[in-house]
């Protein structure tokens, strides 16, 4: 299992389009991927789960990945977050 912290710096946080991009990316990997915020842990492959986090701009989240492609999955998700979900 690997994990990393990330801060959401895009304007809208994990709402609609960014959440959709994250779920789409997570589903490309075999590993189990979870996002933790405060006392909540959700499956990153579930759009409903991601939306229920209510993760706004400036929120710190923890990404946990466990599986055969965990390193690649974590790297890709962190890159997506660091790119501000390709928002301008």
Given 14, 15, 63, 64, the catalytic residue: 15
Q: How many contiguous H segments (helices) and E segments (strands) does the chain have?
A: 3, 4
Rounded to an integer, what distance in angstroms lies between the CA atom of residue 41 and that of residue 62?
A: 9
**Considering only CA atoms, which of 67, 86, 84 is closest in space to residue 28?**
67
Active site residue 15: yes
Where in the sequence numbering do the catalytic residues fall? 15
């Amino acid at each position: 299992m690997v994990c990393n912290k990330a801060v959401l710096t895009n304007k809208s946080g994990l709402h609609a389009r960014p959440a959709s991009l994250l779920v789409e990316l997570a589903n490309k990997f075999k590993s189990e991927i979870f996002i933790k915020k405060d006392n909540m842990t959700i499956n990153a492959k579930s759009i409903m789960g991601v939306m229920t986090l209510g993760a706004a701009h400036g929120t710190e989240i923890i990404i946990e990945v466990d599986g055969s492609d965990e390193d690649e999955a974590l790297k890709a998700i962190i890159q997506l977050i660091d790119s501000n979900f390709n928002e301008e």
